[in-house]
């Protein structure tokens, strides 16, 4: 069966960059400015408070996992009132040892493993918009195991480290995201896959990308009228069906142009266009440059770290 969530994660191309242990005790609080890249935190013991800009504050407890796919500004603290220390993760050098906030001595009130990674996809912002802005998962043992393995691997220098980290992050992302699938999920791909009527249509769009889909055909798959399907899809996914299909087609086309030695005609056929010229027109309108130029420039582009230091986040 086609798996749209796995396809989105694969196109995002996550790679691990950094992780660290964090602890806090007494009166403490840190305020991080927006970072943009995905970050995560797993509570190993104790509890603390997390307030992400624009979202209700969360109490994090041992066994909790939080993923911020685009990491807006947030404040993490203990439970006593305090003026948080402001940190800009883009310019603050990352520490090499465990970070301790608040009272420096004695047992901590909370211990966490935090970190961040980077999406190599040029379509990261578009793809991330399909995911929840804040993912909070509680009591999933599989996530705890993955976080422990990620922490161990990131601090070592064993052969094959980068490949293992890349695979662990992919599995971690999928495990965290599918653990949040439900009716209370914000509009986006996860909510669509949780909808019994819409899920078959979404899977068809992904599984048969070359097909010339219409709203009427997709509505039939969902066993809904055309108008009911359009309204339900737009409300649940956060965008109309043909806009979602175009977004996905262009994301796949970019990946094919960047990483596969394919001609424009073959790429066009794979993403549902009857001719290279029609595809080139749509691609140029969506991306801002023709596919031939995009393929050439992508060969010269490498995605690296921001600045000369490793950011300190989560």
Rounded CA separation 7/206 (Å): 8
Residues 171 and 280 in one domain: no
Q: CATH number of the domain at 154, please.
A: 2.60.120.280
Concatenating the DSSP letter of every residue in 10-51 gives: HHH-EEEEEEEEEEEESS-EEEEPP--S-EEEEEEEEEEEEE
Greatest pairwise CA separation for the chain in angstroms: 69
The tens digit of pLDDT for each residue in 186-213 reads 889 989 999 999 999 999 999 999 999 9
Based on the fold, state whether residues 123 and 209 are members of the same structural domain. Answer: no
Is the residue at 95 inside a domain?
Answer: yes
Residue 68, in any domain of the structure: yes
Which CATH number goes with the domain that contains 225? 1.10.10.60
- Residue 50 located in a structural domain: yes
Among residues 41, 29, 102, the alpha carbon closest in space to that of 71 is found at: 41
Distance from the first to the final alpha carbon of the chain: 36
DSSP-assigned beta bridge partners for residue 18: 116
pTM for the predicted model, two decimal places: 0.81
How much is the pLDDT for 302?
39
CA 223 to chain centre: 31
> In the listed set 133, 159, 178, which residue is the last one of a domain according to the structure?
178
Counted domains in the chain: 2
- Checking if the pLDDT of 311 tops 90, the result is no
| Whether residue 119 sits in one domain with residue 203 | no
pLDDT (tens digit per residue) in 258-275: 888 889 999 999 999 999
24 and 159, same domain (yes or no): yes
Is 162 in the same domain as 197?
A: no
Residue 79 pLDDT grade (very low, low, confident, very high; cuts 50, 70, 90): very high
What pLDDT is recorded for position 82? 93
Contacts of 204 (CB under 8 A, 6+ apart): 2, 211, 213, 218, 221
56, burial (CB in 10 Å: exposed 0-12, middle 13-18, buried 19+): exposed
119 with 193, same domain? no
Print the domain residue range for 29: 4-178
Task: Please provide the average confidence, as pLDDT, over all residues in the chain.
Answer: 88
Highest average pLDDT, of 159-163, 181-185, 207-211, comes from 207-211
Q: Is residue 303 in some structural domain?
A: no
Task: Tell me: do 33 and 80 sit in the same domain.
Answer: yes
| Confidence at 46, pLDDT banded by 50, 70, 90 | very high
Are 221 and 74 contained in the same domain? Answer: no
Residue 265 lies in a domain: yes
């Amino acid at each position: 069966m086609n798996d749209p969530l796995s396809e989105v994660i694969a196109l995002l191309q996550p790679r691990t960059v950094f992780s660290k242990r964090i602890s806090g005790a007494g009166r403490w609080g840190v305020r991080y400015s927006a970072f943009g890249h995905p970050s995560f935190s797993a509570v190993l013991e104790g509890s603390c408070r997390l307030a992400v800009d624009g979202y209700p504050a969360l109490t994090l407890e041992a066994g909790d996992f939080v993923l911020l796919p685009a990491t807006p500004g947030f404040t993490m603290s203990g439970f006593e009132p305090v003026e948080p220390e402001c940190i800009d993760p883009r310019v603050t050098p990352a520490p090499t040892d465990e970070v301790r906030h608040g009272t420096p001595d004695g047992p901590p009130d909370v211990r966490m493993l935090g970190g961040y990674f980077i999406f190599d996809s040029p379509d990261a912002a578009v793809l991330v918009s399909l995911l929840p802005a804040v993912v909070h998962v509680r009591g999933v043992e599989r996530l705890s195991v993955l976080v422990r393995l990620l922490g161990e691997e990131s601090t070592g220098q064993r052969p094959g480290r980068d490949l293992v980290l890349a695979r662990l992050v992919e599995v971690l992302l999928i495990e965290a995201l599918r653990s949040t699938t439900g009716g209370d999920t914000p509009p986006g791909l996860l909510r669509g896959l949780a909808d019994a009527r819409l899920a078959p249509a979404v899977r068809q769009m992904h599984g048969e990308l070359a097909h010339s889909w219409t709203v009427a055909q997709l509505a039939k798959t969902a066993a809904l009228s055309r108008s009911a399907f359009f309204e339900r899809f737009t409300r649940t996914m956060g965008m109309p069906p043909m806009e979602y299909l175009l977004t996905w087609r262009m994301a796949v086309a970019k990946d094919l142009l960047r990483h596969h030695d394919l001609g424009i005609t073959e790429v066009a056929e794979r993403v549902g266009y009857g001719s290279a010229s029609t595809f080139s027109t749509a691609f140029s309108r969506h991306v801002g440059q023709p596919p031939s130029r995009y393929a050439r420039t992508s060969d010269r582009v490498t995605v690296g770290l921001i600045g000369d230091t490793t950011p300190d986040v989560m």
